[in-house]
Amino acid sequence: MRRWHSTIVVLLIVVINYARGKNLTMGGVVTLGGIDYVRILPGQFRMGSREEAPPEIKDLEIRHAVSIDTPFLMSAHEITNEEFLRFVNDSGYIGGEDKKDFLKQLDLTHPLPEELRNLPVTYVSQLDAEEYCSWLSKKENRKIRLPKFVEWEYACRANTNSRYGVGDDEQSLSEHAWYAGNSGRTVHAVGSAKSNPWKLFDMNGNVWEWTATEVPDQLTEKTPFRNRICAFIKGGSFLNSASSCRCAVGWAFLPLAERSNDVGFRIVADSID
């Protein structure tokens, strides 16, 4: 009996030390290539809106249960000007097929002025973001990509059932997000507002974030983007109302090559080794 007891104790110690070494906890921070990532472990959540959505978007925010079966890493912050410029300088990227005024719109000079370094990069299309992910995947020798729609909402909710993932009221939002109510209609440095419970910053507000999830044709056919491939954007921005910063927002999307002054992105890594 004592022998079995000793064996069990040893095994428990091994497991605990392994978990500590791997930091296998939800919200644990891992740094890869100078970028901080947060561990997102599998789980279940209620996706969609608890509220009665307007008829035109009701079908996009139906409340339903979703399971996340695979762990992933999500960047703690939106990708910054400095991080994106590193990609531009290293790869020579000038904007792909749609390169009109690409660098001019980015306003990324080298070296970057201090006040621009930690602002989230904007004027990047989903195609630009995908190119960044491809470049970083090669640099880090691991798969880096944009988050899927469902992964993004799971991370935004952070095991809560609230409108914003940080509470239900606008006061809670104002402490964690830059939106029309407090931003002064300008973008802010990443991480300058409070994080959500999983240590992710700016999931609400600051800039909209591209996802990897393309929009079904039936959702675009009555919009100006008819016959164009679009992807969902999430989170709202410094120009939007509190309502647009809800976790459940499912009506926002843009064509893959579209660029805007309030749209950026964050990244995820598939491997958590």
User: What does the pLDDT profile of the chain (273 residues) look like in tens digits?
Assistant: 444 444 343 333 333 333 433 445 677 899 999 999 999 999 998 877 766 555 555 556 676 788 899 999 999 999 999 999 899 889 988 887 666 666 666 666 667 788 889 999 999 999 999 999 999 999 999 999 999 999 999 999 999 988 999 999 999 999 999 999 999 999 999 999 999 999 999 999 999 999 999 998 888 888 899 889 999 999 999 999 999 999 989 889 999 999 999 999 999 998 666
Confidence (pLDDT) at 51:
62
Nearest to 163 by CA among 239, 248, 60: 248
Give just the sign of the alpha carbon dihedral 11, 17, 22, 28: positive
Q: Please report how the helices 81-91 and 126-140 are oriented relative to each other, as an axis angle in degrees rounded to 10.
A: 70
pLDDT given for residue 227 in this prediction: 87
Please state, in angstroms and rounded to a whole number, the distance separating the CA atoms of residues 223 and 233: 16
Extents of the domains making up the chain: 24-269
With residue 213 as reference, give the H or E element that holds it.
strand 208-214
**CB contact at 8 A, 210 and 146:** yes
| Residues 170, 164: Cα–Cα separation, whole Å | 9
User: Helical H runs in the chain?
Assistant: 2-22, 81-91, 102-106, 114-117, 126-140, 149-157, 170-176, 217-220
Residue at 173: amino acid letter: L
* Three-state secondary structure call for residue 108: coil
Q: For residues 37 and 199, give the distance between their C-alpha atoms in angstroms, rounded to a whole number.
A: 9
What distance lies between CA 188 and its chain's CA centroid? 16
Q: What was the pLDDT predicted at 14? A: 33
What integer pLDDT is reported at residue 172 of this predicted model? 94
Give the pLDDT of residue 16: 35
Element (H, E) at 72: strand 72-75
231, 254 contact by CB (below 8 A): yes
Question: What fold is seen in the domain 24-269?
Answer: paralog of FGE (formylglycine-generating enzyme) (3.90.1580)
